[in-house]
Amino acid sequence: MQFVKIVSLSVVTMVLAGAVARAEDNASISGKVAFEGDAPKARKLKMDADPQCAAMHSEKTPVSEEVIINSNGTLKNVFVYVKSGVTGTYEPPKTPVTIDQHGCTYQPHVFGMQVKQLLLIKNSDDTLHNIHALPTANKEFNKGQPAGSTELKTTFTQRDIMVKFKCDVHPWMTAYVGVLEHPFFAVTGDDGTFSIKGLPAGDYEVEAWHEKFGTQTAKVKVGAGEAKTADFKFAKSAE
Ligand SMILES: [Cu+2]
């Protein structure tokens, strides 16, 4: 009996040690992406080329998502990710990421996923789309998706910042995905903030990417369980 007790005690100790190790991976980096200067006017999209698309927006003219300045002066659709400093191995999540062709736009417009994570490509529209991926490190693909067709499935095998998607039927349709070997990324939404959680302590380089305004980087050092702030600022590029 005494022997059994000793064994179970050591199991408890091992479990506790594991829990402590995970708690150490609890640093975070969060912040806000500001936009400086006059907000450019949202570019209206003309979808007349496909009456099906135009009909889906008969009540409100759709606008391009390439530059969206939020009401609080921040920038939407900025992909913020840990560019370097991550040392561990991170298995891709079992849950897939979905991109939908809906209202003749891609939803979401900017997103992130992991290497070898499943990407589902849906067409919710009553019209033909084709998804044309233009990666840097991965293989290009171009697949037609008629109305009512089942979702396509794909994965990326390499890190890629960023993979652009376009639709050759509807030239206004674009989207971008950042593909990483770890889960430390976020995309700014309607309040321009981002939060990257669950980081181990480390010395990181964080990059903020925007399709029109380029990239900004910041060096951030976080200790175990520490929460650090990294704010970014983009301005309209001189054209
Ligand atoms: Cu399309």
CA of residue 168 to ligand 1 center, whole Å: 7
CA of residue 176 to ligand 1 center, whole Å: 15
CA of residue 18 to ligand 1 center, whole Å: 48
Q: Pull the structure tokens for residue 65.
A: 């998502």
DSSP 8-state assignment for residue 44 = B
CA distance 239 to 104: 29
pTM: 0.89
Q: Are 33 and 235 in contact (CB under 8 A)?
A: no
CA of residue 107 to ligand 1 center, whole Å: 12
Domains of the chain by range and CATH? Answer: 2-235 (2.60.40.420)
* pLDDT band per the 50, 70, 90 thresholds, residue 42: confident
- Give pLDDT tens digits for 107-148: 999 999 999 999 999 999 999 999 999 999 999 999 999 999
